[in-house]
Structure 1
Amino acid sequence: MSSKRPTVADVLALKGRNQLTMLRVTTLEEAEAAQKAGVEMLSVPPELMTDPRFRDAAPDCFTVPGGDKSVYVTKDECLGEAFRMIRAGADAVYCAAGLDTIRTLRAEGVPVCGHVGLIPSKATWTGGFKAVGKTAESAFQVWKQVRTLEEAGAFAAEIEVVPAEVATAISKRTSLFMISMGAGAGCDAQYLFAEDVLGAHRGHYPRHAKVYRNFAAEYDRLQRERVAAFAEFVADVEKGVYPGPGHVVRIPRDELDRFLNDLAGA
C-alpha cells in the first residue's frame, strides 16, 4: 500500500491478501502515534474526526468514525451525521443501526462499516458481553447478519468475539472486508483499542486484548509527581520563597517614587 491514504476500493482490493491493522484512538496524540507506527486504519469518536487538527495528525490512515450512539438515532439523523463525518475527512462511517439506515447511507454514496457478533449496544439480544457463535445455530446467525449487511450495501463489518474458525469461514465466503476484534486471524484486519494496547486503565482487559505497555503505572507516577509539585508550591508560599525576584516585574525607582507621591495625595 502506498503512503497515500487508501480509498474504499483500495481496502477491498486487499481482502484476502494480507491483514491490516486497526486501532480505536480517542486523542490526537494517539492518532499521530498510529500514523507514525504504520497503522493503516483508525476508528475514532466523532468529536476527534471533526477536530481540524486530526488530518494533520493522521493524514494517511483510513478512518471510520462512529460509536454505539449511532444505534439510537433516526435514519435522517444518522444520514446527517454521516455527511458531517465525510465532510470532516472520514473515509467511511460505522453504523450498527437498522438495515434500512444502512441502505439509505449506501444510496447516498456513504461507505458503511457494519457490526456482527458481539455488538455492545445490542448485547442483550445475544446474552450479554460474551462470545457469540459458539453453537452451530448462533454461528449461522452471524453468517446471516453478514449476508444482510452485504445486501444492504455495507462494504465492511466488524466481527467481534466470534470463534476464530467461524469468523475465518465467514470471511472467506463474503465480499465484505471483515475486521476482527477478538475473532481470530482469518479476517482482513485486526482491531484493538489503543487504551488496551497501552495498558492505560486498571479495569478489565478483554481476552482478545494484548497489552504492550503499562501506561496506568506511568499515570500513577505522574499523579505522585503532580501531588508533590503542588505541595512544594504550597510550602514555598507559606515560607515566603515564592514569588522570588525572578518571578516579578520591577518599576524604575523614580517612577515608583512618583507613583507613591501621587498615591499619597489621592
Structure 2
Amino acid sequence: MEQKTTVQTLLKMKKAGKRIAMMTAYDYPTARLLDEAGLHVLLVGDSLGMVVQGHTTTVTVTLDDIVYHTKMVSRGAQRALVVADMPFLTAHLSETEVIRAAGRLMQDGGAHAVKIEGGSHLAPVVNRLVEAGIPVMGHLGLMPQSVHAIGGFTVQGRTRESAQRMLADAIALQEAGAFAVVLEMVPAEVAGYITKRLRIPTIGIGAGPQCDGQVLVFHDMAGFTDGYIPKHNKRYANLAETILSAARSYVEEVTSGAFPGEAQTVHLKPEEWKDLEPLFADHTLETKRR
C-alpha cells in the first residue's frame, strides 16, 4: 500500500509538478473504492445536499450532516486525505464556535482537514484554525454556499477587478496558513495565473487544466446525475443505467417467480426434515382447531 496522503504530501506534489486527483465521497463503500483507485484526496462536500439529499442548493446541509457522512468516508479511506466541508454559516460564527465546529469534523467525523468557502475576510478564521492544529483548504470562485447572493451558479473572475480580487483572496488564504485552494468555475487563464502565483496547490473544478489538481463530484463522474450537466463535468461511467437495468431485472424475476431460484435456496437435509415435519403437521392441526 502506498503511503498515506497528508497536507505535506500535497505541497510536495505541487513543488514536483505532480497532479492531485480529488473527488467527493459520502459513504463507506464509495470511499473504499475511490481510495483503492488511487485518489489523493476525498472531499466530504456539502454537495451531498444536492446529489444525496435531493435539495437544489448546498445551503440546507448542516454540521451534523457533514459529521455523519465524514464518519463513513474516514472508515473507508486507508490512504487518501479526507477533507470535510464546513457547511453554510459555520465559518462565520464566533471564533470559539468555528473551532468547535471544525473540531467536531475531525474528532467525531475523523476528517484530516476542513474546507472553507470565502476569501480575505476569512483569513483570520483560517489562521486561528491552523494555530489550533486544524489544516484548512480554501475555496474561491463560485462558492455554492453563496449561490443566492451571487445570483446562481455562474463563472467567476471574468473581469479585471474580480480576477484581481480572487488573486488577493488566494494569497490571503495562503498567508493565513491554508494548505490548498479550490478554484471553482473560474476562467482557465485566471486560474492558471493564480496557480503560478501561489506556493500552495490549487484544485480546479471548471477552472481549466493549469491548476495543480482537479476535483469532481462522484455522482457526476459515475453518471448518477441527470438533467443539465455543466460543461466542466465529465461522465466516466453510466452507473445509473447499469443499476436501473439490474433493478428492472430483479423486479421481473421476483414477479415471475424466477427469483429466488435453486441456487439461492437453502434446504433441510432429509433427516432434518424428517425430524421437523411432525412438528409442522401438529402446528397445522392446532391452527385448524382454533
TM range (shorter): 0.7 to 0.9
Residues 227 and 70 of structure 1, relative CA distance in 2, 3 Å threshold: farther
The answer to whether the 8 Å contact 1:202/1:216 transfers is no
> Which amino acid is 2:93 matched to?
T
2:169 corresponds to which of 132, 137, 145: 145
Report whether the alignment pairs 1:85 with 2:105: yes
The answer to whether the 8 Å contact 1:118/1:162 transfers is yes
3-state secondary structure, aligned to 2:117: coil
| Structure 2 CA distance for aligned equivalents of residues 231 and 66 of structure 1 | 44
The corresponding residue for 1:195 is 219
- How do 1:18-167 residues align onto structure 2 when only pairs under 5 Å count? 18-44=18-44, 45-51=66-72, 54-66=73-85, 68-69=87-88, 71=90, 74-75=93-94, 76-87=96-107, 88-96=109-117, 99=122, 100-167=124-191
| Structure 2 CA distance for aligned equivalents of residues 191 and 261 of structure 1 | 66
| Structure 2 CA distance for aligned equivalents of residues 156 and 245 of structure 1 | 55
The corresponding residue for 2:6 is 7
Q: CA deviation at 1:95?
A: 1.6
> Could you list the per-position Cα deviations for residues 187-225 of structure 1 after superposition, in whole angstroms to 9, with x for gaps in the alignment?
111111111111112232211111111112113213322
Residues 27 and 229 of structure 1, relative CA distance in 2, 3 Å threshold: farther
Segment drifting more, 26-35 vs 207-216: 26-35
> Which amino acid is 1:11 matched to?
L
Report whether the alignment pairs 1:181 with 2:209: no
5+ residue gaps, structure 1:
237-243
Q: CA deviation at 1:122?
A: 1.1
Q: CA deviation at 1:42?
A: 0.8
How many equivalent residue pairs? 254
Residues 227 and 116 of structure 1, relative CA distance in 2, 3 Å threshold: same
Q: CA deviation at 1:39?
A: 1.2
5+ residue gaps, structure 2:
45-65, 260-264
| Structure 1 CA distance for aligned equivalents of residues 280 and 5 of structure 2 | 66
| Structure 2 CA distance for aligned equivalents of residues 245 and 112 of structure 1 | 53
The answer to whether the 8 Å contact 1:95/1:114 transfers is yes
| Structure 1 CA distance for aligned equivalents of residues 183 and 235 of structure 2 | 21
What TM-score do you get using the length of structure 1 for normalisation? 0.82
What TM-score do you get using the length of structure 2 for normalisation? 0.75
The corresponding residue for 1:239 is none
Q: CA deviation at 1:110?
A: 0.6
The corresponding residue for 1:241 is none
RMSD: 3.1
Segment drifting more, 208-217 vs 89-98: 89-98
The corresponding residue for 1:216 is 240
Q: CA deviation at 1:259?
A: 6.7
Higher CA-based Rg: 1
Residues 152 and 231 of structure 1, relative CA distance in 2, 3 Å threshold: same
Q: CA deviation at 1:74?
A: 2.5
Residues 36 and 259 of structure 1, relative CA distance in 2, 3 Å threshold: closer
> Which amino acid is 1:85 matched to?
L
Q: CA deviation at 1:263?
A: 8.4
Q: CA deviation at 1:232?
A: 3.2
| Structure 2 CA distance for aligned equivalents of residues 125 and 262 of structure 1 | 72
